Amino acid sequence: MVQIVLPDGSQRDFPAPVTVAEVAQSIGSGLARAALAGRVSYDGKPSTLVDTSHLIERDAHLAIVTGKDPDGLEILRHSTAHLMAYALQDLFPEAQVTIGPVIENGFYYDFAYERPFTPEDLEAIEKRMMELARKDEVVTREVWSRNEARDFFLSVGEKYKAEIIDSIPENETLTMYREGSFIDLCRGPHVPSTGKLKVFKLMKVAGAYWRGDSKNEMLQRIYGTAWNSKEEQDAYLKMLEEAEKRDHRRIGRELDLFHFQEEGPGLVFWHPKGWTLWQQVEQYMRQVFRDNGYQEVKAPQILDLSLWKKTGHWDNYRENMFTTESENRVYGLKPMNCPGHVQIFNSSLHSYRDLPLRYGEFGQCHRNEPSGSLHGMMRVRGFTQDDGHIFCTEDQLQDECAAFTALLKKVYADFGFDNVLYKVATRPEKRIGDDEVWDKAEHALMESLRRTGCEFEISPGEGAFYGPKIEYTLKDAIGRHWQCGTIQVDFSMPVRLGAEYVDANDQRRTPVMLHRAILGSLERFIGMLIENHAGALPAWLAPVQAVVCCISASSSPYADEIAQSLKKQGFRVESDLRGEKITYKIREHSLQKVPYILVVGDKESQAGTVAVRARGGKDLGVMPLAEFSARLAEEVATRRDDIRTQQETA
């Protein structure tokens, strides 16, 4: 007798071993049709994802996985990646299949083929995928010996698969998944048959080095997306379409904010308007530093390699570091600011009365990111962090973490983000420090979030090598998630670098070090801001807050007078005195997404007024200059996005 316990606590007894599919069928035919896999647990141990063909031979807990579950969606995508490889090899038999994982919102597979795949090829592959899915071929799991699998792939010309298997110990057994004439190496699980794969789309082709190593040959990576329903896929494709319109790289060119070029890969060339935007963000954050007890500091860009070895960065992060040499000494270009801040702390002896001690820096860092991962300002090699480090006692730890979360929520609200997601990233496999220290650090972070009333998720193994962290993720205007802020608890680096304070009993103690950033990379955050607002930044951030346009040459002196008056009041204003038609001027500055366009002619000149147009074409009417100035000043001081609010309520 085999007893199965379901998620609702109910039990089902079977006279003999039973498959996941048979359990689903016993519950109902609808669930049986929807079942993609099972999550089974034996003897109270963590559950494991298994195929519906998995045979349960003894008492177990079981959850049936469908496409509505996160696990089910991942299985759909993984199985669709295999379907794509099946279809591609059916059309292009000489193509070699390499690696094809699930990624956020979809999947990809890398292929080796003699010529580049074209958009027409993708259409043909997708069409063939549809045909194979309609055949509803059974997907079966097979167990092979390591050598048997290697010999098979070599026999069919799949040298990349054979190379993967070469890295697996000889005594290992491997799982293979077969559908129709296609067979692939995979851990699984997979859908029970190709007919479960109904909603998918191939997106694009890109280059990718074999195993991500630029020394290896270039392969072709085909990206796709797959969903449980057509409605979900349509919503995703619509989001992508909107995201394309908001792409910060395109908007950066159109608004003359910044550019990138091959001679500086992963580095930003800031133009005057873009640097003005940068300064608004930086000066706002500098005020946050001042208002919350941070002392601003500046540490060197390069430090001797011996220091990076002491901190653990060289052993755990060297592949991401740039190095340089001078006079037979090797230096590391800093990928992060923390070691420099510890040196500043160590420059004098501190009392417990000095703690918590908060340092802040707009520190420029460099990381040797792979060229294939670079993406505008979202993934760069050179960036600036609104970085800070708090040196405190263990007793102060939770208060500091809770205060930081409260501060971060206020800052995000000022930038227009009210939807914040919280994740606690726990100890990774590769780390420094013992488990007792990690226990204390993880507990402190979780308790600080509970104290501030924040619900959070756990991200197992995603912490930094020196400590766990809270990751703060923002949801933007079109539903995308961006991980920005973080706070990390570090018991290890202060010990490694000899940081100490004197306690109330005149004893030397090691402080706890909190690594924290609110915006994270300023480059990335500004790119995110641009995309969130589609370039139509609120007035307090806009590089140009208003443009004064004259209708005719006779009103140009008055227009210039208005512009100069507003500039003296501290506003970022330009005047357009060209002899172009006023409709042309308005259209041009509207395309530049300027918050306010002030139009003046002879009538306004005589009356001492301005005709005000808000972004989006909203006519605010004619008003005295003082009234407009007061309006703009209040909007900037309160950091409200009045224009967007008016458009949303119109």
Closest CA to 512 of 607, 611, 444: 444
Was domain 71-244 assigned CATH 2.60.120.920?
A: no
632's tokens: 């703009």
Q: What is the mean pLDDT of residues 133-156?
A: 94
Establish whether 389 is a catalytic residue. yes
Residue 231 CB burial class (10 angstroms; 0-12, 13-18, ≥19): exposed
Cα 379 to the center of its chain, rounded Å: 9
Backbone phi and psi for residue 494, each to the nearest 5 degrees, phi listed first: -60, -35
List, for residues 254-264, the tens digit of each pLDDT value.
999 999 999 99
Closest CA to 80 of 143, 38, 117, 129: 129
Kindly list the distances between the CA atom of residue 623 and the CA atoms of 75, 290, 380, 600, 628, in Å, as whole numbers in the listed order: 61, 37, 46, 11, 7
Continuous segment of H or E residues that includes residue 448: helix 435-451
List, for residues 61-70, the tens digit of each pLDDT value.
999 999 999 9
DSSP for 247-260, please give it. -HHHHHHHTT-EE-
pLDDT for 647 equals 58
Out of 51, 121, 386, 387, pick the active-site residue: 387
DSSP for 229-290, please give it. SHHHHHHHHHHHHHHHHH-HHHHHHHTT-EE--TTSTT--EE-HHHHHHHHHHHHHHHHHHH
| DSSP-derived 3-state class of residue 18 | strand
16's tokens: 């003999």
Out of 150, 358, 366, 389, pick the active-site residue: 389
Strands 512-521 and 173-179: unpaired
DSSP for 529-550, please give it. HHHHTTT---TTT-SS-EEEEE
List, for residues 510-528, the tens digit of each pLDDT value.
999 999 999 999 999 999 9
Please enumerate in sequence order all residues whose Cβ is within 8 A of that of 292, keeping only pairs 6 or more positions apart, or say none: 358, 403, 407
Pairwise CA distance, residues 623 & 608, whole Å = 9
Out of 161, 515, 524, 572, pick the active-site residue: 515
Q: What is the mean pLDDT of residues 129-138?
A: 96
Pairwise CA distance, residues 313 & 333, whole Å = 12
Q: Which residues make up the CATH 3.30.980.10 domain(s) of the chain?
A: 71-244
480's tokens: 């995308």
| DSSP-derived 3-state class of residue 397 | helix
Closest CA to 599 of 616, 576, 566, 573: 576
Establish whether 198 is a catalytic residue. no
Strands 420-425 and 457-459: parallel
606's tokens: 């005589």
Strands 350-351 and 501-502: parallel
Q: What is the mean pLDDT of residues 400-427?
A: 92
List, for residues 538-549, the tens digit of each pLDDT value.
999 999 999 999
Backbone phi and psi for residue 243, each to the nearest 5 degrees, phi listed first: -65, -35
List residues forming the annotated binding site.
Answer: 338, 389, 515
Pairwise CA distance, residues 86 & 179, whole Å = 8
List, for residues 231-257, the tens digit of each pLDDT value.
999 999 999 999 999 999 999 999 999
Residue 76 CB burial class (10 angstroms; 0-12, 13-18, ≥19): buried
Please report, rounded to a whole number, the percentage of residues in the chain having pLDDT higher than 90. Answer: 79
pLDDT for 622 equals 96
**DSSP strands (E only) in 444-584:** 457-459, 469-475, 481-490, 501-502, 508-509, 512-521, 546-550, 573-576
Out of 233, 280, 385, 488, pick the active-site residue: 385
Cα 341 to the center of its chain, rounded Å: 26
Q: Which residues pair with residue 5 across a beta bridge?
A: 11, 61
Torsion 555-560-566-571 (CA) sign? positive
Name the band, by pLDDT with cuts 50, 70 and 90, for residue 115. Answer: very high
When the candidates are 2.130.10.10, 3.40.50.300, 3.75.10.10, 3.10.20.30, the CATH number that belongs to 2-66 is 3.10.20.30
List, for residues 414-440, the tens digit of each pLDDT value.
998 888 999 999 999 888 778 888 888
The architecture (CATH level 2) of 296-533 comes to 2-Layer Sandwich (3.30)
What is the crossing angle of helices 70-91 and 119-134, to 10°? 110
Q: Which residues make up the CATH 3.40.50.800 domain(s) of the chain?
A: 546-648
Q: What is the mean pLDDT of residues 282-307?
A: 94
Pairwise CA distance, residues 338 & 533, whole Å = 32
Class of domain 546-648: alpha beta
DSSP code at position 371: G
pLDDT for 451 equals 87
At position 609, the amino acid (one-letter code) is T
For residues 281 and 525, the answer to whether their CB atoms sit within 8 Å is yes
194's tokens: 């190709």
Pairwise CA distance, residues 578 & 563, whole Å = 14
List, for residues 352-396, the tens digit of each pLDDT value.
999 999 999 998 999 998 887 888 898 899 999 999 999 999 889
Q: What is the mean pLDDT of residues 443-463?
A: 90
499's tokens: 């940081």
Pairwise CA distance, residues 111 & 121, whole Å = 13
DSSP for 23-58, please give it. HHHHH-HHHHHH--EEEEESTTPPPEEE-TT-EE-S
pLDDT for 464 equals 84
pLDDT for 213 equals 79
Residue 237: CB atoms within 10 A of its CB come to 14
List residues forming the annotated binding site for Zn(2+).
Answer: 338, 389, 515
pLDDT at 496 over 80: yes
Establish whether 341 is a catalytic residue. no
DSSP for 508-519, please give it. EEPPEEEEEEEE
pLDDT at 477 over 90: no
394's tokens: 């263990």
Residue 225 CB burial class (10 angstroms; 0-12, 13-18, ≥19): buried
Q: Which residues make up the CATH 3.10.20.30 domain(s) of the chain?
A: 2-66
| DSSP-derived 3-state class of residue 325 | strand
Cα 81 to the center of its chain, rounded Å: 23
Name the band, by pLDDT with cuts 50, 70 and 90, for residue 141. Answer: very high
Establish whether 338 is a catalytic residue. yes
List, for residues 3-43, the tens digit of each pLDDT value.
999 999 999 999 999 999 999 999 999 999 999 999 999 99
Name the band, by pLDDT with cuts 50, 70 and 90, for residue 645. Answer: low
What is the crossing angle of helices 397-414 and 272-291, to 10°? 140
pLDDT for 646 equals 60
Establish whether 469 is a catalytic residue. yes
Ramachandran area for residue 585 (φ above 0: left; ψ -120 to 50: alpha; else beta): alpha
pLDDT at 650 over 60: no
Please report, rounded to a whole number, the percentage of residues in the chain having pLDDT higher than 70. Answer: 99
pLDDT for 418 equals 85
Q: Which residues make up the CATH 3.30.930.10 domain(s) of the chain?
A: 296-533
Pairwise CA distance, residues 431 & 438, whole Å = 10
Q: What is the mean pLDDT of the chain?
A: 92
pLDDT at 443 over 60: yes
Q: What is the dihedral of CA 432, 438, 441, 442, to 10 degrees?
A: 120
Please enumerate in sequence order all residues whose Cβ is within 8 A of that of 32, keeping only pairs 6 or more positions apart, or say none: 21, 24, 25
- The end-to-end CA distance of the chain, in Å, is 67
Residue 364 CB burial class (10 angstroms; 0-12, 13-18, ≥19): middle
For residues 109 and 97, the answer to whether their CB atoms sit within 8 Å is yes
Pairwise CA distance, residues 438 & 432, whole Å = 9
